[in-house]
Structure 1
Amino acid sequence: MTIPQSSLIVSCQAPVESPLHNPKMIAAMAKAAINQGAKGVRIDTPDHVAQVRQELPDSLIIGLWKRIYPGYEVYITPCFADAVKIAEAGANIIAIDATIRERPQGETVTYLINRIHQELGLLVMADVDTIESAIAAEKAGADFVGTTLYGYTKITENLSPPGYGLLQEMVKKLQVPVICEGGISTPQEAKKALEYGAYSVVVGTAITGIDLKVKAFNSVFLN
C-alpha cells in the first residue's frame, strides 16, 4: 500500500501528558479522519499503530516511533530496531528522521532505509529539514520525502513551517514524491501546498491537536 497522490493524510498524535495519548483515543481520531475522507493516517508508537490497525484493517498507516536516545537529536524512528516494532504493529510505511545528523548505534539513513526495504518489505517516508537532507534522503533510497522537520532542527529553528520554499525546491530537484507536512493550519494552505507541487499533504495539529489548540485559545483569556 502506498500514499495516493493529491491526498490528505491526518497525523493522529497527542502529547504524552495528554489523556488523548491512549491507543483507543488515537484510534478513534484515526477512524474519524478516515470516515471523513482522509486517505491515510500517521501514527506514533507501536501500541498506537497496533490499535489503529485493529480498528482500520484496510487503511494506510504511516508509522513512526518517537524515541529519545541520550546524546542524539534524531528522534523519529532513529534505529532499525524501532522500525521493526512499528512494522510488526501493522504500519504500511515507516517514517524516519532523515536529517543529516548523527544517529544512535552508528546507523546511517542509507543503512536504515536499505534494511526497512529488504528485511521488512516496506516503503519509507523520509522526514527532512533542508534541501541538502532531502537530496541525501533520495540518494539513500527514500520512497517519499517530507518537509516534516523544517523549523524543528537547530539549523532551521529560526524558520516557521509550512516550508513552502523548501517544498518548491524539493519538487524541482527530487524525482521521488514530495510530501508537505508541518504547519498546515487551513484547507487553503493545504491547497497552496498542492499548487506548489506537493504529491500529498499531512495535517496534524490543525485537525487532531486538541491540547495545543485549547492552550492557544486559552492564552487569550489569561492575558
Structure 2
Amino acid sequence: MNVLERLRGGLVVSCQPVDGGPMDRPEIVAAMAQAAVAGGAAALRIEGVENLRATRPVVEVPIIGIVKRDLPDSPVRITPTIADAQALIAAGADIVAYDGTARPRPDDRDAILAAIRAGGVLAMTDCAEPDDGRAALSGGAAIIGTTLSGYTAETATDDDAPDLALIGRFQALGGFVMAEGRFNTPELARQAILAGADAVTVGSALTRLEVVTGWFADAIRRPR
C-alpha cells in the first residue's frame, strides 16, 4: 500500500507542542507520536529535524515533516527553504510540507517543490486559496492542504471555523486533499470528510496541552 492510500480516510496527528513549553523536547514529541498512533492515527505531522529524528525510529506510520521559521523579511514560516526540505528528507520524512502561497520567501515555492520531488518523497502543499492548489498540482505536488486558509492577509477572518468550502474547491481540482486548520473537534473532522477531504490533520486539540487547558479554563471563568 502506498503512502497516500495509507493516509486516505484517516487522521493525521500534528505533534507540535507549544514552542518553548515544557513538552517541547524531541523525546516528548516522539512519545506523543507513539500515543497518537496507539489511538489510531494513520500518519503524523512533525515539526523540526531533531523531533523528526527522534520520532522516525519509534513509529511505522507515514510522517509529514515540516520546519517552522520566523524570518525577518518574509511572512512564510513553513519549510521556507530548499535546505529545510532536504534536511527533512534526510531525517526520514515520507512527505515534506511547505508553504505554497505566492508570498515571498528565501527560495521560490516552485523550487522548494522541485527539491522535495527530487529527494524522492511526496510533497504536500500548505495552501490558503484555490490558486495555491492549482499551482501546486501543476508542479507535481501529491497533497494539497487547507492549512493556511485564514492565516494570510488575503484570507484573514474573525471566524474561527475551519474552511469547509475550500475543501470542496480543492476536491474539484483533483489530487489528494488534506483538511487542516481549526478542525478541533471530532465532529468538525467528520464534516471535513463529508465535505470531500481525503484525510484530516488535527494538531492543537490533541497535542498542545496548554492550549486545550486554556479553552476549558476560559469557559469556566466566563461570566454566568
TM range (shorter): over 0.9
Q: In the alignment, residue 95 of structure 1 is paired with which amino acid?
A: A
Q: 3-state DSSP class of the match of 2:3? A: coil
Query: In structure 2, what is the equivalent of residue 102 of structure 1?
Result: 104
Instruction: Report deviation, 1:43.
Output: 0.3
Give the whole-Å Cα distance in 2 for the aligned partners of 1:160 and 1:213: 15
Query: In structure 2, what is the equivalent of residue 136 of structure 1?
Result: 135
Cα deviation, 1:127-157, whole Å, max 9, x if unaligned, reads 0011121212212221100000111111111
Query: In structure 2, what is the equivalent of residue 181 of structure 1?
Result: 180
Instruction: Report deviation, 1:69.
Output: 2.1
Cα deviation, 1:48-89, whole Å, max 9, x if unaligned, reads 000011222x22110000012211011100011001111111
Task: State the percentage of identical aligned residues.
Answer: 35
Aligned residues between the structures: 218
Query: In structure 2, what is the equivalent of residue 19 of structure 1?
Result: 22
Where do 5+ consecutive residues of structure 2 fail to align?
none
Query: In structure 2, what is the equivalent of residue 163 of structure 1?
Result: 163
Kept after mapping to 2: 8 A contact 1:128/1:147: yes
Query: In structure 2, what is the equivalent of residue 121 of structure 1?
Result: 120
Q: TM-score, normalised by structure 1?
A: 0.93
Give the whole-Å Cα distance in 1 for the aligned partners of 2:185 and 2:71: 34
Cα deviation, 1:156-190, whole Å, max 9, x if unaligned, reads 11153411011111111x12111101111222211
Q: 3-state DSSP class of the match of 1:154? A: coil
Give the whole-Å Cα distance in 1 for the aligned partners of 2:205 and 2:66: 20
Q: 3-state DSSP class of the match of 1:201? A: strand
Instruction: Report deviation, 1:222.
Output: 5.2
Q: Root-mean-square deviation (CA), in Å?
A: 1.4
Q: Which of the numbers 87, 91, 99 marks the counterpart of 1:89?
A: 91
| Residue 2 (str. 1) matches residue 23 (str. 2) | no
Q: 3-state DSSP class of the match of 1:156? A: coil
Cα deviation, 1:20-68, whole Å, max 9, x if unaligned, reads 1111111111000101111110000000000011222x22110000012
Q: 3-state DSSP class of the match of 2:70? A: coil
Query: In structure 2, what is the equivalent of residue 191 of structure 1?
Result: 190
Q: In the alignment, residue 91 of structure 1 is paired with which amino acid?
A: A
Kept after mapping to 2: 8 A contact 1:109/1:140: no
Cα deviation, 1:94-146, whole Å, max 9, x if unaligned, reads 01000111121xx222211112111x111000000111212122122211000
Q: TM-score, normalised by structure 2?
A: 0.92
Query: In structure 1, what is the equivalent of residue 213 of structure 2?
Result: 214
Q: In the alignment, residue 22 of structure 2 is paired with which amino acid?
A: P
Query: In structure 2, what is the equivalent of residue 112 of structure 1?
Result: 112
